[in-house]
Each structure stands twice: as C-alpha cells, then as structure tokens.
Structure 1
Amino acid sequence: MISRFGGVPDHGEKGERVAEVFELRAGEYRARVDRTGAGLQALSWRGHDLVWPYTRQSGPIASQGQLLAPWPNRVASARYTFQGTEYRLDVNDPETGSAIHGLVSEVAWSTQERSEEDVTLRLDFPGTPGYPFPLELTAAYRLTADASAAHGLTVTVTARNTGDSDAPYGLGFHPYLTLGAPFRDLVERGEVRLEATAGSRQPADATLVPVGDPVPVSGTEYDLRPPGRNPGTTQLDTAFTDLDRDSDGRAWVRLSGPDHRVCLWAGRGYGWLQLFSSDSLGGDLHRAHLAAEPMTCPPDALNSGTDLIVLAPGESVEHTFGILAESLG
C-alpha cells in the first residue's frame, strides 16, 4: 500500500502512524519530531510557529514536514530507467500520474540517540519492487539556543548504500514556513517579504515535470534574490537553482513579517529549492503557508539524471539544512 504522501506503511493494517513524538527544547526554541517518517511535526520560537504544524491525530497534510527520500519531488509517469533497467513505482499523485516524495514518510523509524535538545532516528530501508536498493538512513535533529550562526533547528540526513549494487539517490525536505497569519493575508496587506538566494528557475510542463534547461530569474516575477519582495499574486510551485551561498556555504529562503522572519538555510549538496505557495490547496489552506523545500536534485531526476547521486555499495552521503527565527523589532 502506498499513501498519497509517498510512504510505504509497515506499522499497521491500514498504515496508521506510530504514536510516538519526540519533544525538543533549547532556549526559546521548541520542536516536535515524529518517529513515523522522521518528520518535523512542529517548530516554534518565543511561542510563534515557524512551520505549519501537524499532530498524530491529523497526520501530515500535503506532505507537511516530511523527509523525502530516496527521491524528492516527483518521478514522471511513475517510472524510470537506471543503468539499463526500467523500474515502475506506484502512482501516488493521480492528477499528474507521478510518484512523488519518496518512500519513507509512512515508515516507523527507530531511535538511535535522544536528549532534551536532539534526537537521531534510523531506518534500515530494504527497498521495494520499484526501488530495489537497500539504504541505511539516519536523520539527526538538533536545537541550538545560542546566538551562533547555527542557532535554531539543524537537520542532518545521512544515507548509506547497504546493497551490493549502485543505488540512485536524492533527498529533500518539505517544511511549510509560517508567520502565524495566513500567507495570503500578509501578502494582501503588504506585510510580507519573500527572499530566496536563487539565480535560476526550472520551467515545467502542466504535470510539473521539467522542460528544458533552467532559465535566469533576473527581470521576472521569480526574482526573489535579496532584498526580496512581496510575491503578490505570483503562483509558486517552482524549482529554483543556481543558488548563491554565504561564507558558510548556505543558501537561504527568508520569509519576513511585521515583527520577525523565518529563515531556512540549505547546506552544500542541496543544489535546489522548491517553493510552493499552496495555491492548489483548497479552503482555508489556499495560500495559507509557503513550502520551502531543500532538494539535492530537481524534479524527475531519476529520469533526467540531473544532480542525481549514485551511491556505490558501502558509500554514504550527508546533507544538512536548518530553520531559525530572527526578530525584526
């Protein structure tokens, strides 16, 4: 059984989520980490939600807070060819006929380490018929309260190929940044600024599969480089690349409101950012939050090979991103 969020349930007849959550705290930061899927349930600072939270009862909506492996985003037509062999995945995005967001978001991870400020979860992923490549995955969450550049939440994911053949691999994460009030209301009142340190965007077709090469954002509505701007009516479900990085190698997305900003940074190895303004969500969720997704590769990388990681047997790779808050008062 494949859920609409791309996971492979292994913990209940109907894939119900494991009822275990880890609460982290450091200074003015609080976080909740879900043992199911190693997802980020909640992150707050001074009582302000920094991400759109979910609970065990509601489960994630629209992949909120989910770890996306062994591929982020989508695989067109739910099929791909790797080293001469075609593989078929289950379609879990019927509107586009794609397989989206990987295979681990509904799986129960085990606890490796735990303290008040951090937790490390581990998954021995055996592979599936559509992705027969076993991996050992670890996700280390850490909260830091000091005023260093690394304060806030840091998430480090490590993947190791435990099989006897090469494994294609990509990674992403799906947090929705929030400033408390709905994103659409802040946009209408002119009280929000969106910034992304990306020089190019990836054009896509109606099914959100890349078409052609990335194009420069300069002079277009997709130019969100510093100092950023109010995104207005721009609809975003867009992959960005050519990321400008600071002296620590981090690319940034910043969402600024009247009194504070939420900042997501992506370390080296995350060469792509997907921004999603929630326009396709219905009701009160329409344009309520902004997804900022660090990705190691673009959509459909299992087919295109663009920035796809190929892990040899025994080889491992590590990627880190973080989320923090800054006061504007």
Structure 2
Amino acid sequence: MGEVIELRAGEFLARVDRNGAGLQALTWRDRDIVWPYGNDGPKAFQGQVLAPWPNRVDAGVYRFAGTEYRLEVNDSATGTAIHGLVHDREWSVEAVSDDSATLRLDFDGTPGFPFPMELVITYRLADDGLTLTAQARNTGDSPAPFGLGFHPYLTLGEPLSALAARGDLTLEVTANARQPVDDRLLPVGGPVPVDGGAFDFRPPGTQVGDTVLDTAFTSLERDGDGRAWVRVSGPAHRVSVWGDRSFDWLQVFSSDTLGGDDHRAYLAAEPMTCPANALATGTDLIVLAPGDTARHAFGITAEDLTRA
C-alpha cells in the first residue's frame, strides 16, 4: 500500500491512493458515497483507473498496425484480460493542496502492450463534489492504441439490495442504447435501443428491483454541459456519476458476481471511452500519434433529497 492523500472541500472528503492512483474513499457529510477500501487494497477494482484499456479483451489477443499482441489473461472466469495495466503501479505525486492532488505515471509499456505513455490524473474537490481529470500522452515513436475508464462503486449507506427490496432504490442512466454481450461478457453484435425494456433507466424514478446489470450503455444523452449521468437514489439522498464528452460509454454493474456481504451491495458506475474488447475490434478505440494527448474528465457528487 502506498501513500494516501487526503483532500477536503465543503461537505466532501476524499482519499487518493498513490498505488494505482485509485479513489480509496469519498465521503459527503461524513457518510461514504463510494465503496471505500483500506490498507488491504481494493477488491473487484473498486476505485481504480482502467488504462490503457477498460473492461476486457478476449483471450488477451488483439492486432494493431498489422502486429498481433498477447496480454496476460487475468480474469480466469471469462478468459479475458481485464481493466488495463496501471492499477497496481506506484504513481508519483506532482502536486498536492488541501482540495486537489495531481499524480503521474510514466508507463514504459509491456511485451503485450509495448506503447509508452505518460498518464497524469488530477483529483479536485469542490462544494459540488469530486472532479477527476486525466491526460494520456503518447511518449513513443509510433501510434498507440488507448482506452480509459474508471471504476467507482456507489453506495447509499446500506446494501442496495435491501433498498431495492423495499422499493427505495431508483436508477437513472441517460443512455438510449446498450451493448448485448455473451456469457463471457464480450460484445455480440452492435448496440440495441433500450426503449421501454428492462434496461431503460432514462425516466427519473425508475426502480432497480431485481434487474441484474453488468451492462455497457451508449448513445448517451447529455446535459447543457455535455455531461452524461448515472444517478442512484434512495429515500434521503442521491449519489451521481457524470462523464464528459470524451466518454461515449457508461458501464453499470450491480455487483451480483461479488460474494458475501458485497453481493449486490454497491452499484459500479464506470465512465469508459470504449466498450469491451475494443483493442481487438477497434470500436471507439483512441489512436494517439507520437506526442499526442487525450484529455478526459468525470465526476461524482451527492445531494439531499429531503429538502423541500
């Protein structure tokens, strides 16, 4: 476990882990709004940075610029390479203040992903919550494939399954389509409309019920600031994740495959630049020319629902 940086602003407090540049904790009014982790490290990629690809790659195999590469398969259940290569690396601290921290990783590449990059992430707290900005710069001498995601699990203070059973849990996802997947969670065909189906969470106040989600949403609706949203609400407060225009995908995971007390206790809301298997399919894959930089931002906030 590396150094943990604590940030404060208004009613929010965050802890940022130098190991992986992960979001170890985020509280609002002294209550957790993301599933926190401690000195034993994260489980199920909670709070992690997913780069240089989010989600999974089938058998860890992909081709880029005419060359085949093989990544280590680290999800034996699906036979895939999952969630990138930077979540277990020590990042350097570039700057820290009371309400912000900037971390950098000089990624040299690996045999399965031989594309060096500089990654810079800034966490900033304000009265309206957390904003995370990310930059990825190709420091190599050839084009590089790239995808990015983040993996916060939202919590409302008790297991979401208990809230759902009482009819006290609603979900809003501002997306018009979802990506069907096979039993290994790899895409099958193209996105399909959510219109009126079990995965249509566009109307505010939609009950989660017993719907199982490990679902990538796309064709995102955006507000006037260009943000797409996932909003999870209980009877007293709401926790929300937004992604800027650089994120065309939102993965929502209802924690059904987690065991014990974690089973269906949290809701992961993951902004992603591309869907599963994008290194192999090229779907929404970013290609960085030498020296080029990709920029991204997402945030987490909370609000009181009891105020008139």
Structure 1 match to 2:201: 224
Query: Secondary structure at the residue paired with 1:284?
Result: helix
1:54 aligns with 2:31: no
**1:113-139: CA deviations, max 9, x gaps?**
100000000000000000000000001
Unaligned runs of 5+ in 2: none
Q: Following the alignment from structure 1 to structure 2, what is the Cα–Cα distance between the partners of residues 199 and 45? A: 30
Residue type of the alignment partner of 1:327: D
Match of 1:42 among 18, 22, 25: 25
Tell me whether 1:93 sits opposite 2:75 in the alignment: yes
Tell whether 2:115 aligns with 1:138: no
Q: Distance in 1 between matches of 2:120 and 2:187?
A: 29
Letter in 2 for 1:272: W
Give secondary structure in 2 for the equivalent of 1:302.
Answer: helix
Q: Percent identity?
A: 65
Q: 2: CA distance between counterparts of 1:86 and 1:228?
A: 46
Offset of residue 296 of structure 1: 0.2
Task: Report what 1:251 is aligned to.
Answer: 228
1:59 CA drift (Å): 0.6
Q: Does 1:163 align with 2:145?
A: no
Distance in 2, matches of 1:95 and 1:267, equals 32
State the alpha-carbon separation in 2 of the partners of residues 107 and 47 from structure 1. Answer: 29
Aligned partner letter, 1:54: Y
Counterpart of 1:221 in structure 2: which amino acid?
A: A
Q: CA deviation at 1:231?
A: 1.1
Distance 2:205 2:114 in 1: 43
Normalising by the residue count of structure 1, what TM-score does the alignment of the two structures yield?
0.92
- Return the offset for 1:47: 1.1
1:37 aligned partner, one-letter code: G
2:171 paired residue number = 194
- The answer on whether the counterparts of 1:174 and 1:291 sit within 8 Å (CA) in structure 2 is yes
Alpha-carbon deviation of 1:197?
Answer: 0.1
String of CA shifts for 1:242-289, please: whole Å, max 9, x gaps: 000000000000000111100110001100000000001111111000
Aligned length in residues: 306
How far 1:226 sits from its partner (Å)? 2.7
Question: How far has the Cα of 1:228 moved from its partner?
Answer: 4.0
1:1-329 equivalences in 2 (<5 Å): 17-18=1-2, 20-56=3-39, 58-145=40-127, 151-329=128-306
Q: State the shift of 1:316 in Å.
A: 0.2
CA–CA distance in 1 between the matches of 2:208 and 2:304? Answer: 21
Q: Which amino acid aligns with 1:39?
A: G
Equivalent residue letter for 1:300: N
**What do residues 104-162 of structure 1 show as CA deviations (whole Å, max 9, x unaligned)?**
000000000100000000000000000000000001000002xxxxx200000100000
The one-letter amino acid of 1:40's match is L
Q: CA offset at residue 230 of structure 1? A: 1.2
The one-letter code sitting in structure 1 at the alignment partner of 2:227 is R
| Alpha-carbon distance between aligned partners in 2 of 1:303 and 1:273, rounded to the nearest angstrom | 19
For residues 312 and 103 of structure 1, what CA distance do their matches in structure 2 show?
A: 20
Secondary structure, in 3 states, of the residue corresponding to 1:168? strand
Structure 1 unmatched ranges of 5 or more = 1-16, 146-150
Q: Distance in 1 between matches of 2:81 and 2:302?
A: 33
State the 1:77 CA deviation.
0.8
Contact 1:196 1:228 survives alignment (8 Å)? no
User: Aligned equivalents of 1:184 and 1:291: distance in 2?
Assistant: 14
In structure 2, how many angstroms separate the alpha carbons of the residues matched to 1:230 and 1:48?
A: 23
Q: By how many angstroms is 1:192 displaced?
A: 1.0
Q: For 1:177-196, what per-residue CA distance to the aligned partner results, in whole angstroms no more than 9, with x for missing partners?
A: 00001010000011111110
- Looking at structure 1, the residues matched to 21 and 257 of structure 2 have their Cα atoms a distance apart, in angstroms, of 26
C-alpha distance after superposition, 1:25-62 (max 9, x if no partner):
00110000000000000001001211000012x21010
Rounded Cα–Cα distance in structure 1 between residues aligned with 2:94 and 2:146? 23
